[in-house]
Structure 1
Amino acid sequence: MTGFNITPLNSSLEPALTEKINLKTKPLGALGKLEKLALQIGKIQNTLSPVLTKPTIVVFAGDHGIAREGVSPFPQEVTWQMVYNFLQGGAGINVFARQHQIVIKVVDAGVNYTFAPHPDLIDLKVAPGTQSYLHSPAMSAAECDTAISRAAVLVEQLHKEGCNVIGFGEMGIGNTSSAAMLMSLLCNLPLEQCIGRGTGLDDKGLEKKKAILSEAMRTQAPADKSPLEILRTFGGFEVAMICGAMLKAAELKMVLLVDGFITTAALLVASALHPAILDYCVFAHQSNEQGHQQLLAYLKADPLLHLGMRLGEGTGAAVAYPVVQSAVAFLNEMASFASAGVSNKD
């Protein structure tokens, strides 16, 4: 599934954007990362006056067979229970999205539960959870392709409705295990460096998680180290959908808000397929989950926030969104030295 046309950013406007930023009523570089962000968004939209419209965070939920092996302190049922929490507006992502006027879309990518029809639940379910990759690949090649393509269609629809800035959230008990496996293989790092406490494992639980994942790596690691084969073997349906959603969003030249460890692992797969996707990514924050800092370093990413968060759901992207708004606002609204009648330095 590499049928996405993602082009590197057009740099023809960069000199004009840089001049516009530099001639604002401030010392050169005085707005720090906001200036880099304004330049990036101007280049993504290929305009000196970018606009953010219908900001949306899509939360993909999926269950993992590996969760039944004891890699998480929480039971698998928490995935579907949290989906209902999202639908009722009670989760962290709902709170921050309301605060910042961000639209939330909740997607059943592959939860091991049959939901009653709900007007706010998007049913893209591939299967009721993945297989346990302790014993077999998590999904078939066809299932992996289905997840990627269904998410791409959804993003295309959101784009047609006017969304040009999109974040991605996830819910899936066991998904930090998936992210660790993807990271280890795609970054060529020892698995132990990639495994963290997830939803709060104690020392004994962490050692069990490491043992289970090490055994899965030993028996199931694909001989074909292609990104899609690695995703198929160790990913989750929500991770595969985030990958597909990101690829389509970059193809459509949207601004991508990248959340924490899981979504960055999905981006790792997407960037291995189409490196130019990184031009469109704004890295919201550095999560407190072990591995995320190394993952960001591997992608040469400079996250906006360091708040010690590790909730997932897209919460980091939602909390960082006002910073993105500030970058666009100063570019469009701040006076220049000339317009304000303020003397510039010699």
Structure 2
Amino acid sequence: MAEPQSRAASEPPRPAPAPDPRLPVVVSTADAQLDSLLLDRLAPEHLPTGSLGRLESLVQQLARIQSATAKNFDLLAFDSPQLVVFAADHGIADEGVSPFNQSVTLRRVQSLLAGESPVNALASLQGFDLTVVDAGIASHLEPLEGAAWRAPLLRRKIGYGTRNMLLSAAMSPAQASAALLAGMDVVRHLPGNVIALGDVGVASTSCAALLLSRLCGVPLADACGRDHPQDGRDNLQLQNKLEKLSAVASRHRKAVKPLDALAAMGGFEIAMMVGAMLQAASERRVVLIDGYVAGAAALVARGLRPAVADYLVFAQRSAEPGHRLLLIHMQARPLLDMELRVGQGMGAMLAWPLLLAAQRLLEH
């Protein structure tokens, strides 16, 4: 007589958890027929196959985003491009992981709003409308005396900076969810079919390093760039950063799912960028990703909706050593490598002419 099966063995497998209904549906853009059609249009008979190099793959990606089927596609169209810069502070800055204190975030945002940052000039040059979002700056934003804001500000503050993640989770689950939904709402109310995403926030690269390490299994030392002094920091400062972030990773070692890791070790601006990417992809918008921090948001967004990666155009590889590893894990080849570390969407603005070139090639 056979022994009775154990309860665990006899129970049917549990269904996978249902996707969060609050997150928009994102469909894959894969279309081999459209890819083939585009190659025929791009390659004159007198040029060898692949002569346009990576411009060919860029044209294909943009066309897939803008057309549901090959039969409906004609030309690329870029309408009312938007640059959205999300700004927030991080409690982990109290641990000396950045050479700057949180007041620098406020000054950088005030410069953006006054139209005085380099990215303001480039956004104007490239025809982008720039919007600044207060996702969670540690101070109240007001214009400087005698100054006027030239860029619009959206007040979506979840809190006055995240908590110190060395002591507790950076955000509560409710805060992380609220930030994600706020990012979706920001995009939902912006015009156009192109969204470029940038960020401002002291210690934000610490969040990016932790998310890269947790979601991709990259050693934290590599994600932090321990062997590559930067931002004027010496080896002792980098060692302090690694020690503090290692303690953070240990404290939140159970936060392994994308949303759990985001709440435990992320930032308000990162969570809002995740929401912005998901919403933009659900509307078949082109999403230009700037640097390391926006890339970390892309990791989380991909974990929630894998098809979102089809809509992401990675503008540049920054000077942050961890950014190179992040791009490898995203299987993404950035358009530029200018050794930037300014953030704020600067790389996206510099890469924009390449998208215009892709558009013109199909008109030729």
Q: TM-score, normalised by structure 2?
A: 0.87
Aligned residue number for residue 88 of structure 1: 114
Aligned residue number for residue 238 of structure 2: 206
| Structural RMSD (CA) | 1.6
Aligned residue number for residue 164 of structure 1: 193
- CA deviation profile, 1:119-144 (whole Å, cap 9, x unmatched): 71110111111000000000011100
TM superposition shift of 1:198: 6.3
TM superposition shift of 1:199: 4.0
Indicate yes or no: 2:123 matched with 1:97: yes
TM superposition shift of 1:24: 7.4
SS of the aligned residue for 2:159 comes to: coil
Indicate yes or no: 2:236 matched with 1:219: no
Aligned residue number for residue 113 of structure 1: 139
TM superposition shift of 1:25: 7.0
Structure 2 gaps of 5+ residues are: 1-19, 68-72, 144-148
Candidates 263, 267, 280, aligned match of 1:236 = 267
Indicate yes or no: 2:56 matched with 1:35: yes
Q: Which runs of 4+ in 1 moved over 6 A?
A: none
TM superposition shift of 1:4: 1.7
Question: Which of these two proteins has the greater Rg computed from alpha carbons?
Answer: 2
Check conservation: 2:130, 2:152, Cα contact below 8 A: no
- CA deviation profile, 1:77-129 (whole Å, cap 9, x unmatched): 01111111001111121122122121111000000111238671110111111
Tell me which amino acid in the other structure corresponds to 1:76: Q
Aligned residue number for residue 204 of structure 2: 175
TM superposition shift of 1:38: 1.0
Indicate yes or no: 2:158 matched with 1:132: no
CA distance in 2, matches of 1:169, 1:283: 12
Check conservation: 2:255, 2:264, Cα contact below 8 A: no
Candidates 130, 141, 152, aligned match of 2:173 = 141
TM superposition shift of 1:172: 0.5
CA distance in 1, matches of 2:232, 2:90: 17
Q: Which has the higher contact order (CA 8 A, sep 6+)?
A: 1
TM superposition shift of 1:215: 1.2
TM superposition shift of 1:296: 0.5
SS of the aligned residue for 2:276 comes to: helix
Structure 1 gaps of 5+ residues are: 335-346
Tell me which amino acid in the other structure corresponds to 1:120: P
Indicate yes or no: 2:73 matched with 1:53: no
Check conservation: 1:61, 1:170, Cα contact below 8 A: yes
Candidates 265, 280, 285, aligned match of 1:249 = 280
Q: Return 308-317 or 131-140, whichever deviates more.
A: 308-317
Aligned residue number for residue 357 of structure 2: 326
SS of the aligned residue for 1:13 comes to: helix
Check conservation: 2:86, 2:134, Cα contact below 8 A: yes
TM superposition shift of 1:311: 1.3
CA distance in 1, matches of 2:234, 2:119: 26
SS of the aligned residue for 1:204 comes to: helix
Candidates 326, 336, 341, aligned match of 1:310 = 341
Among all aligned residue pairs of Structure 1 and Structure 2, give the percentage whose two residues are the same amino acid.
39
TM superposition shift of 1:43: 1.2
Distance 1:52 1:26, change over 3 A: farther
- How many pairs were matched up? 329
Candidates 191, 213, 216, aligned match of 1:184 = 213
